[in-house]
Structure 1
C-alpha cells in the first residue's frame, strides 16, 4: 500500500512541476515577443517565420501539439497561443534539467527544448525581466 502512495505522490509532484508557468510570466514573454502583447502576425526571425503574440515558430507549434486549425491561426489567437506555450513548457521543463521558474520558462521559449541551459538565452531573459517579471513570477 505504501508503494502505491509513494508512486501517486511522485506522479502528482511531476504534474505540478511541469504545469507551473504563471500568467504573469506568460504576460512578460508575450510583451517581449509582440511589442506589448499585441497581435502582430508573422515575421522573419532567425531565417524562419515566427507568428502571433508569442512569435511561435512552426516547429514549436508542432511540439505543443498542433493546437487550433493551423500554426498561423493558433499563433494569432491569444487563447490558443497561451495553450500552446503552456503545453510546450509542460513538455520540456521536466526534461531540461532546469528548475521550473519564469527565468527558465523564458529561456526555453527563446532557445528551444534545452534553451534554459544555453548561455545565448540569458539576454532574452534580461529582456523578459525588463517587462516586469522576476525569476519567481
Structure 2
C-alpha cells in the first residue's frame, strides 16, 4: 500500500512539472488560441462568414458548423456563436477538451492542426502548412 501511495505521489509530481513546463496542456492555452485567431482572421471580430472548402467558416476563429456541433452547440445558434468571440472561444476550448488527448495529443501543434483538420487533424499531412502559419504567428509546440 505504501509503495502505491509513493508511486501516485511521484506521478502527480511528474504531471505537475510537465504542466508547468508547457509539455502537457490539459486545454488549449490562451496563447495558442490567440495564434489560431490571428491566422484565421487577424482576430477580426467583425469578419462574419466566408465560404471555405464546401461550407461557411464564421467569426474570428473561422468556425464551421460541424465544429460547432462537435463543441456541443453553445450559444444561440451556429453563426451567432461563431461570430461572438467569447462563445467561439468557449466552443474551441470544448472541442479541444473533447478530442485532445484522445485522437491527438495536447500540445499547441496538436490543437492547431485539429482546429484546421478536425478531430484527427494532427495526423493529417494536409495540416502541416497550417501549423507552419501558427508558428509564424508566434506560437510553438508548447505555447
TM-score, normalised to structure 1's length? 0.85
- Residue 18 of structure 1 deviates from its aligned partner by 7.1
Q: Which runs of 5+ in 1 are unaligned?
A: none
Name the structure 2 match of 1:59. 66
Partners of 2:138 and 2:72 in 1: CA distance: 29
Name the structure 2 match of 1:91. 98
**Aligned residues, how many?**
128
- Residue 95 of structure 1 deviates from its aligned partner by 1.6
Partners of 2:102 and 2:142 in 1: CA distance: 20
Partners of 1:101 and 1:68 in 2: CA distance: 27
Q: Which runs of 5+ in 2 are unaligned?
A: none
Structure 1 residue ranges, 4+ long, deviating more than 2 angstroms after superposition: 16-20
The aligned runs of 1:1-137 (5 Å cut-off) are 19-34=26-41, 36-39=42-45, 40-96=47-103, 98-137=104-143
TM-score, normalised to structure 2's length? 0.81
Name the larger-Rg structure. Answer: 2
CA spacing shift, 1:55–1:105, aligned 2, 3 Å: same
- Residue 32 of structure 1 deviates from its aligned partner by 0.4
Q: CA RMSD in A?
A: 2.1
